[in-house]
Amino acid sequence: MDTGYERFNPEWLFNAPGKIEGPVLNPNGEKITSFALTNVRQAYGLDLKYLRDSDGDGFPDVIDPAPFWKGYKDGEH
């Protein structure tokens, strides 16, 4: 997809390239290009071993003693 004028798009440097939403209608009914990523998890590698966060508390599972309970050490101590 043509993203318009040449510019630096760091998301294109990801191992899994970013996929943009593309053409959409804004609230005024005008056709614009949305550069919102539709594959954020894959692009940022959020499911990689050292980034995976099963309970969504912001602590990666590899350092979270209770990876399925929200909060660091919640349910452990």
pTM (two decimals): 0.56
pLDDT in tens, 25-64: 999 999 999 989 899 888 888 888 888 998 888 888 898 8
The reply to whether 68 falls in a domain is no
The reply to whether 69 falls in a domain is no
Q: Containing domain of residue 58, as a range?
A: 10-63
- Whole-angstrom distance, CA of residue 75 vs CA of residue 42: 30
The reply to whether 16 falls in a domain is yes
For residue 43, the 8-state DSSP code is H
Residue 24 confidence (pLDDT): 97
Task: Tell me the average pLDDT across 12-30.
Answer: 89
Count how many domains the chain has: 1
